[in-house]
Structure 1
């Protein structure tokens, strides 16, 4: 045992350092200590790499924090004017180094507002390098600093159930993959909006009621367009639910998605955010045609039936799979039990099983006349 341990230690122990006798480079002496920088080139490169990585992390953390806090500070006066409680207990809260959020409440027609910053991982060199490499391969992949204002509407603030959105055209390729609720809509053009924007709506009647001059003016602002991604009004969850939602679980939202502007342009989106509040107040006055209401009601009823059917089918498949797994486990346990028996006992059991299978197959055979 001792010899084996000695061999292991011999392998793990690094070889002794031998100072070259003919060293004529730069060196520093103090008492019995001698430092020769030329002998530590590898360590110097490793140390330089560590400093670069640490600097990358610190700069990335600072940039994300600055970007989120400057945008939020520029828009905080709007929240203070509109909400009785514009800030959460700790104000703008940081979750990690790329996610920030704030919770506002206390306003007519709005139960709550979640302001969420999802910024690029500037603090993580490897994620940043991966995203950079992916942009060179996938031309449609463009990582962005996302700001989402999610207004949860109060009961009665929107009397009708529908999904509607204005979306930047460069978002159309991916938005239906990220937003299940928008899969109900059809994409159309509106001459009232800039050419870079499209409308996603279930029915034209909904667009006529929502696309009013105030909103058109805010969306047409040249300062806003570079950062606008989407604005949606929805009665459905963004992620497909496992089954039909109970009446108490149904929520209606107005969701604004922006790309975070540079620090010098954080005020460019103030006008759009300001315009959202009269837009939300006007939702209670939306008056759809009777035939539109009937179609929307039928669509929601059909959607609930489909969700219920899919949920029941999934449960049946899960139960069937569980029964199969249980049967397979029982069969395996029986095979293991038989394998431990003497050969004579195994032969008897196998013969009994063979006769059982033969009787079973004979019972299924039919004689044709």
Structure 2
């Protein structure tokens, strides 16, 4: 019996195994589409094989090492970047050249007039050690130390330590050589448009006289002289300066005996002109036609005053030149600057006019003050009227808000009736 049961169990197990093999035959067999890796190829895979694979961006067939950038790239791929770098280098080079050129021009001008400056003033420039005239080892004025760079197109110099003069301030304004793009734009626009001035290199020298304000220990006499406006102006720029400077707008223009045709005298009186144009100045001006812009003696401000306090006399003597013409005539330039500085001494000694002349000068300033005073009063009156109108409107609006609808209607009708009557009265007056 046991043998029979064992045989039956074996037969059932064999049939079950056959059915299972048949059902899972497809899953058990290896897929022909995905072949199992061979033992040899699997053995050859190592981390080093990734390093020797083709680098990213390398041309087809490249078999060099990953770090050989020079073998898979060339300079022709960076042409655009190369042009940009060359352009930047060109602009930087022009900038450096322009900055050095401007400083060289400024230092060259100071060096050209150095003999006059060291002769007339005790201190020239900005010496950190406090040396007089910022002299170098050879006792010669150091032009580079005598100027100070505000910007790459503006330089200044300073001189002091002289009788009758508080200080002399020199401003050198040059073209935008350090900025080639803006420089070329200014030149091109000035060529095509008359409203744009041609870029120039200019020098403005301004003397502030003591005018009686000497230090208490000063041993010299009084440095006061009378108030007036007088100028010698180059005719090619006379209109521009008259429009830009308020003080010149108060003068009359005339030609002057002994001066060339290109120069005009602008003054308040012939007697003042005869006094100011002393011999040394009259001799050198005819030689300065290329670079002299103007020489102005004035007690009035350059800008039009906006308040009465601006009419307080503030005397200045100003000389404006253009270069490089000035730098190419060093002897004439030195004579002109010397005559300009000594003009202060001439004014202190001789600028004391007759009462009739001073009355005319004073009348001109009083008329200008009256005009400004009327203008200020008109502006003040207009402001008062505006504030009064605003207050009346606010009171009217507040009054209307406190009324009923019927009262508002009655109030508005009364207003319109009053306006109509006022209009009728105005029309009656016109007739």
Aligned 1:53-68 pairs, distance under 5 A:
53-68=91-106
Cα separation, 1, equivalents of 2:258 and 2:154: 35
- TM-score, normalised by the number of residues in structure 1: 0.77
Mapped pair 1:144 → 2:210: no
Provide the residue aligned with 1:117 in structure 2.
172
Provide the residue aligned with 2:292 in structure 1.
228
Deviations 1:80-120 (A, max 9, x none): 32223323456421111111112222222112211111111
Deviations 1:317-364 (A, max 9, x none): 566678889999x89xx9xxxxxxxxxxx9x99987665433322344
Cα separation, 1, equivalents of 2:362 and 2:418: 54
User: Who wins on radius of gyration, i.e. which is larger?
Assistant: 2
Provide the residue aligned with 1:9 in structure 2.
none
Provide the residue aligned with 2:116 in structure 1.
78
Residues 293 and 321, structure 2, Cα contact 8 Å, conserved in 1: yes
Aligned CA RMSD, in angstroms, stands at 3.4
Deviations 1:127-151 (A, max 9, x none): 2122112221234732211101101
Residues 209 and 287, structure 1, Cα contact 8 Å, conserved in 2: no
What is the CA-CA distance between 1:265 and the residue it aligns to? 2.2
- TM-score, normalised by the number of residues in structure 2: 0.67
Provide the residue aligned with 1:32 in structure 2.
69
SS in 1 for 2:309: coil
Aligned partner of 1:256 among 303, 306, 319: 319
SS in 1 for 2:169: strand
Aligned partner of 2:241 among 155, 158, 175: 175
Aligned partner of 2:159 among 101, 104, 123: 104
CA separation of 1:361/1:263 partners in 2, compared to 1, >3 Å: closer, same or farther?
closer
Cα separation, 2, equivalents of 1:327 and 1:62: 66
CA separation of 1:172/1:266 partners in 2, compared to 1, >3 Å: closer, same or farther?
same
What is the CA-CA distance between 1:38 and the residue it aligns to? 1.9
Aligned 1:182-193 pairs, distance under 5 A:
182-193=248-259
Provide the residue aligned with 1:204 in structure 2.
270
SS in 1 for 2:123: coil
CA separation of 1:319/1:259 partners in 2, compared to 1, >3 Å: closer, same or farther?
farther
Provide the residue aligned with 1:8 in structure 2.
none
Give structure 1 stretches of 5+ with no counterpart: 1-16, 23-28, 335-345
Q: How many residues align?
A: 328
Aligned 1:1-369 pairs, distance under 5 A:
31-33=68-70, 34-88=72-126, 91-139=146-194, 141-156=197-212, 157-221=223-287, 224-245=288-309, 249-261=312-324, 265=328, 267-268=330-331, 269-284=333-348, 285-317=350-382, 356-366=411-421
SS in 2 for 1:115: strand
What is the CA-CA distance between 1:227 and the residue it aligns to? 1.2
CA separation of 1:108/1:364 partners in 2, compared to 1, >3 Å: closer, same or farther?
same
Deviations 1:285-340 (A, max 9, x none): 12434322211111111122222222333445566678889999x89xx9xxxxxx
Residues 295 and 318, structure 2, Cα contact 8 Å, conserved in 1: yes
SS in 2 for 1:265: coil
Cα separation, 1, equivalents of 2:346 and 2:69: 84
Return 290-299 or 87-96, whichever deviates more.
Answer: 87-96
Cα separation, 1, equivalents of 2:99 and 2:127: 23
What is the CA-CA distance between 1:241 and the residue it aligns to? 1.4
Cα separation, 2, equivalents of 1:39 and 1:243: 68
Cα separation, 1, equivalents of 2:380 and 2:58: 73
Cα separation, 2, equivalents of 1:322 and 1:178: 35
Return 205-214 or 75-84, whichever deviates more.
Answer: 75-84
What is the CA-CA distance between 1:53 and the residue it aligns to? 1.2
Cα separation, 2, equivalents of 1:129 and 1:354: 70
Residues 107 and 147, structure 2, Cα contact 8 Å, conserved in 1: yes
Provide the residue aligned with 1:6 in structure 2.
none
SS in 2 for 1:245: helix
Deviations 1:250-284 (A, max 9, x none): 31111000002269626241111011232210102
CA separation of 1:324/1:64 partners in 2, compared to 1, >3 Å: closer, same or farther?
farther
SS in 1 for 2:124: coil
